[in-house]
Amino acid sequence: MKFYLASSFSLIDKVEHVCKILEEEGHEIVVKWWERLALKKKFQVLDPYEFYAEPECKFAFERDLEGIKESDALIFIAADRQRSYNGANVEVGIAFGLGKPVYSIGRLTNSAMYWGVQRAVCIEEILYWIACETEGVTMNWGKARKKPIVVDYRKVNVEFIDEDDSGVGIEKIHTREGVLWAYEDEDFIIKGIEGELYPIKKNIFFKTYDVVESVDCADKRIKTEMWEMDEECAMYGKQTEENKCDFIHACSISEKCTQVSASLRRDE
């Protein structure tokens, strides 16, 4: 199949990940508009009059429009939290007008104009839907109960500020499905049973999991353990050379204090 990928230049990592999977499955991407990033940076400093007078602007419009017409379906690649889009929304509208199937990955804003979009969690889900439609496969649903496995979770470790969305702190998470963005006001980070990390929306988290020990309680517990170790370390550190065994024990405890302190700094 031929796909057109609609998205934003700020989500190039996610777009390239989807593009790679589709091409590995034998599909074609009709236009790789994100390869024009250098051109976008060159023209973004221009005022609107100068920008729309550039021949490259007209060429990009015409090429992307032909790409949507040529495609069999459009995939709208959105961010992991709600945000606004410009050109991608126009492209989605064109695809609807041409009667093309429109799929999405990521979180869309609450808009009636997205009602016809088939929303998926990942590109693999979209490929599964398409395979079922193409091959006439009937999806029979079984029932399963999630195993009571305890997982670790933490708050978002803010790496930088999202300048496009009211200065919200975000963290870049490398998952098995590619790069995802975690937002400090909406997400937790979960560590899977094999050590993999992935973000999860807080409302989904509390619907899915019963908290065994909250992040705040864990911080308090670790700090308490560290203080107790500090006191024990200070007590043993005062021993004289006559009791070298106690002195070695104090050194061991001091090392534990350092490790816990480093762990706390990473979590904060």
37 conformational bin, left if phi > 0, alpha if psi -120 to 50, beta if neither: alpha
Q: How far is CA 187 from CA 83, 154, 160, in A?
A: 15, 9, 15
User: How far is the first Cα of the chain from the last one, in angstroms, to the nearest whole number?
Assistant: 46
Higher pLDDT, 114 or 84: 114
CATH class as words, domain 2-135: alpha beta
Q: How confident is the model at residue 267 (pLDDT cuts 50, 70, 90)?
A: very low
For residue 158, is pLDDT > 90?
no
Find out whether 72 and 100 touch, Cβ atoms under 8 Å.
yes
- pLDDT at residue 40, as a whole number: 74
Beta carbons within 8 Å of 185's beta carbon, 6+ residues apart:
168, 169
For residue 227, is pLDDT > 50?
yes
pLDDT tens readout for residues 69-108? 999 999 999 988 777 787 899 999 999 999 999 999 988 8
For residue 64, is pLDDT > 60?
yes
- pLDDT at residue 159, as a whole number: 77
Other CB atoms within 10 Å distance of the CB of residue 98: 11
- pLDDT at residue 166, as a whole number: 61
Which tokens belong to 99?
């009667």
Higher pLDDT, 20 or 206: 20
- pLDDT at residue 242, as a whole number: 47
Which tokens belong to 24?
């590995």
- pLDDT at residue 99, as a whole number: 94
For residue 203, is pLDDT > 80?
yes
pLDDT tens readout for residues 119-148? 998 999 999 888 887 776 666 778 888 778
Share of the chain above pLDDT 90, in %: 25
The residue written with tokens 């606004």 in the block is 84
- pLDDT at residue 90, as a whole number: 93
Find out whether 75 and 46 touch, Cβ atoms under 8 Å.
no
pLDDT tens readout for residues 20-63? 999 999 999 999 998 887 777 777 777 878 878 888 888 889 99
Find out whether 2 and 27 touch, Cβ atoms under 8 Å.
yes
Q: Where are the domains of the chain?
A: 2-135, 152-208, 215-267
β-pair partners for 80: none
- pLDDT at residue 173, as a whole number: 86
- Closest by alpha carbon to 8, among 114, 98, 84, 109? 84
Longest dimension (CA), the chain: 88
- pLDDT at residue 30, as a whole number: 95
